[in-house]
């Protein structure tokens, strides 16, 4: 008798749970769970989800570049019947297959931060205009340096697979500085003699230091360094300091995290292009919630193929003719 009562109670509960499961649900899949950018993005997503009463599940690869885990995560989300997926893709070309399958199953798929390749494989992309971010710091560097025609430039990229975010920032920087970029879909094919070398840094301080040391070994007279993100810039600065060149070399970066903006304040980084991951995630959750309710697809920013979540140039040394954010404003808007 007790067993039957328990069984009936169980059935009642699961029916109620099934009823509750028809509330909007979203999956957030990031490249990894260790890069502070994605940690903050997840926090922003959870906060917005709590505010809207949306159920959020988050997944992450084990490392930046872990494609397989992301494929499994997409399949899990499709099987769970969620309304939408927010995806920061590790392998922007290979993930398009599972993404199209998810879209065919009726899910809304939004690419966050890193556009897929091709971009329209996702329903919409909410991202920083990474090319613009690079362009801002490139132009700032050109206007700040005494002799940009004879600059010796070192570039610290992310990794050898040349993901879109790395290529866009790199090519944006070179364009902003006034260097012919050749093929805009990859770095390394430029032949401007001002480029001393391009290294990979894996986007962390250790890689930044080794990469900078290798660049200095190739050309000790480097006086401008582009870095993919602020941790790599911090590592590069340590290498420059160790070789007594910290005061002669200008470092520019992208990200706008709080440690990075503090580095701008301290003079470690000359200028950084700030991006807004919390906003990216929040807008993504909102878009899925709206899609679940009304079927409305998110729209791109006017004149672009994606929704631009904005970028700001944070520097303590502003230049004529360029809008910028002061260090104080940068610290107010920073993440992490």
Partner 1 sequence: MTKTSPDPAGPDAIASFAGGPSGLRARAMYLVYSMPALVPLFVLLLAIAVFAVLLGERFLSPFALTLILQQVAIVGIIAMAQSLVILTAGIDLSVGAVMILSSVVMGKFSVHLGLPQEIAVLCGLLCGVICGLISGVLVAVVKLPPFIVTLGMWQIVLATNFLYSGSEVIRSQTIAAEAPLLQVFGRTVSVGGANFTYGVIFMLGLVVVLTYALGQTAWGRHVYAVGDDPQAAELSGVNVTRTLISVYALAGLICAFAGWVLIGRIGSVSPQAGQFANIESITAVVIGGISLFGGRGSVAGALFGALIVGVFTLGLRLMGLDVQWTYLLIGLLIILAVTVDQRIRRASL
What residues line the site for partner 1 (CB under 8 A)?
Answer: 33-36, 39, 63, 160, 200, 204-206, 208-210, 213-214, 217-218, 231, 234-235, 237-238, 241-243, 259, 262-263, 266, 268, 336
Compute the least distance from the CB of residue 336 to partner 1, in Å: 7
- What end-to-end distance do the CA atoms of the chain give, in Å? 56
For residue 216, give both structure tokens: 């200095």
CB 330 to partner 1: min, Å = 15
Which residue lies nearer to partner 1 by CB, 29 or 268? 268
Phi, psi angles (nearest 5°) of residue 56: -120, 130
8 Å CB contact between 110 and 86 = yes
The residues that bridge with 29 in the sheet, in sequence order, are 59, 87
- Name the strand (E) or helix (H) holding 170: helix 164-177
Closer Cβ to partner 1, 24 or 210, answer by number: 210
Nearest distance in Å: CB 97, partner 1: 26
Q: Which residues pair with 227 in a beta bridge?
A: 156
Residues 137/274, Cβ–Cβ less than 8 Å: no
Query: Between residues 164 and 210, which has the closer beta carbon with respect to partner 1?
Result: 210
With beta carbons less than 8 A apart as the criterion, state whether 44 and 309 touch: no
| CB 266, min distance to partner 1, A | 5
Between 23 and 243, name the residue whose CB sits nearer to partner 1.
Answer: 243
State the minimum distance, in angstroms, from the CB of residue 179 to partner 1: 19
Helix (H, G, I), strand (E, B) or coil at 50: helix
Give the C-alpha separation, 288 to 38, whole Å.
19
């Amino acid at each position: 008798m007790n067993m039957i009562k328990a069984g009936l109670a169980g059935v009642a509960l699961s029916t109620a749970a099934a009823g509750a499961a028809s509330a909007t649900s979203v999956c957030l899949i990031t490249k990894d769970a260790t890069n502070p950018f994605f940690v903050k993005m997840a926090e922003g997503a959870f906060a917005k989800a709590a505010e809207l009463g949306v159920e959020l599940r988050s997944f992450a690869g084990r490392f930046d570049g872990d494609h397989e885990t992301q494929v499994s995560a997409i399949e899990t989300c499709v099987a769970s019947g969620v309304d939408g997926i927010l995806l920061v893709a590790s392998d922007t070309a290979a993930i398009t297959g599972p993404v199209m399958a998810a879209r065919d199953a009726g899910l809304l798929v939004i690419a966050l931060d890193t556009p897929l390749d091709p971009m329209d494989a996702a329903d919409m992309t909410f991202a920083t205009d990474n090319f613009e971010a690079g362009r801002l710091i490139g132009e700032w560097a050109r206007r700040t340096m005494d002799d940009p025609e004879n600059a010796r430039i070192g570039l610290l990229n992310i990794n050898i697979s040349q993901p879109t975010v790395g290529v866009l920032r790199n090519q944006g920087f070179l364009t902003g500085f006034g260097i012919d970029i050749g093929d805009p879909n990859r770095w390394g094919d430029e032949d401007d003699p001002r480029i001393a070398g391009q290294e990979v840094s894996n986007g962390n301080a250790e890689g930044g230091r080794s990469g900078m040391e290798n660049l200095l070994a190739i050309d000790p007279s480097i006086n401008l360094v582009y870095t993919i993100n602020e941790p790599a810039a911090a590592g590069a600065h340590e290498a420059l300091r160790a070789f007594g060149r910290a005061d002669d070399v200008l470092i520019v970066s992208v990200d706008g995290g709080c440690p990075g903006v503090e580095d701008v304040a301290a003079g470690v980084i000359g200028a950084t292009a700030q991006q807004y991951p919390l906003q990216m995630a929040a807008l993504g959750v909102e878009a899925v919630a709206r899609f679940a309710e009304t079927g409305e697809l998110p729209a791109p920013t006017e004149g672009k193929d994606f929704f631009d979540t904005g970028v700001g140039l944070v520097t303590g040394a502003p230049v004529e003719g360029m809008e910028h954010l002061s260090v104080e404003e940068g610290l107010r808007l920073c993440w992490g």
